[in-house]
Amino acid sequence: AQKVTQAQTEISVVEKEDVTLDCVYETRDTTYYLFWYKQPPSGELVFLIRRNSFDEQNEISGRYSWNFQKSTSSFNFTITASQVVDSAVYFCALSEAGTGANNLFFGTGTRLTVIP
Amino acid sequence: GAGVSQSPSNKVTEKGKDVELRCDPISGHTALYWYRQSLGQGLEFLIYFQGNSAPDKSGLPSDRFSAERTGGSVSTLTIQRTQQEDSAVYLCASSLGTRGATDTQYFGPGTRLTVL
């Protein structure tokens, strides 16, 4: 079973629009961490945020904000006033503290295209 | 400081040849990961090194794949008798290693492997 689901394969928005990227996760672990990474056309995965399962406070960083809701197992990512430089593939990922798994479980990514 | 570096950035090889991919983690990071990113499979975990502990090889797809980490720093991923399905981008990541997979992983630029 897929541990992280990013149902949106591709999204296109016009510059300055807001956009939300969805992430739904599945785990039986009570202690886990969620991540978002950005992969621009250059190919390198760039870390954006790390959030643990005990901290449900939403977070804002500039034009980026994250909404973590344990009740719906979701960790959505919103970009406000999108810019062309936001065009990239965005990955949501999960790590589990109690299962012994040593890796990140990635979603399949959402390709965001911001049209000028 | 310097990030994770990988070499070569691109590698083209003929089917049946062996290849070596190199990863230099961030200085001070004790944990090192290899992932593979391909069109059909997304981001797949391959192997994890933590300090002097035995590596977690649970993600290696076949015995043609092996990896080593010398002196707790540089790592080499070796693929023997390459096949066309090995064509992918191989990503290396490192983390502080204090909290296992729940630490933030920082990724290198990747090596794009093409097997003809």
DSSP letters for A40-66 = -TT---EEEEEEETT----EEETTEEE
- Which residues of chain B register pLDDT less than 70? 1
Query: What integer pLDDT is reported at residue B72 of this predicted model?
Result: 76
- Taking the C-alpha atoms of residue A47 and residue A56, their distance in angstroms, rounded to an integer, is 19
> Is A109 an 8 Å CB contact of chain B?
yes
Band of the pLDDT at A100, cuts 50, 70, 90? confident
Residue in A closest to B45 by C-alpha: A103
Confidence category of residue A79, pLDDT binned at 50, 70, 90 = very high
Query: What average pLDDT does this structure show over A35-43?
Result: 94
CB contact under 8 A, A96 and B107: no
Question: CB–CB of B77/B69 below 8 Å?
Answer: no
- Distance from the Cα of B93 to chain A's closest Cα (Å) equals 9
SS3 category, B7: strand
Dist CA B61 CA B41 (whole Å): 12
Are A52 and B102 inside 8 Å of each other by CB? yes
B66: left (phi over 0), alpha (psi -120 to 50) or beta: beta
At B1 the pLDDT is 57
**Does the distance separating the beta carbons of B45 and A103 come in below 8 Å?**
yes
Which segments of chain A are extended strands (E)? 4-5, 10-14, 19-21, 24-25, 32-39, 46-52, 59-61, 64-69, 74-79, 88-96, 105-106, 110-115
- State residue A55's pLDDT score: 86
- CB pair distance less than 8 Å for A44 and B43: no
CA distance A80 to chain B (A): 25
* Chain A CB contacts of B42 below 8 Å: 106-109
Question: Which chain B residues are closer than 8 Å to A44 by Cβ?
Answer: 107-110
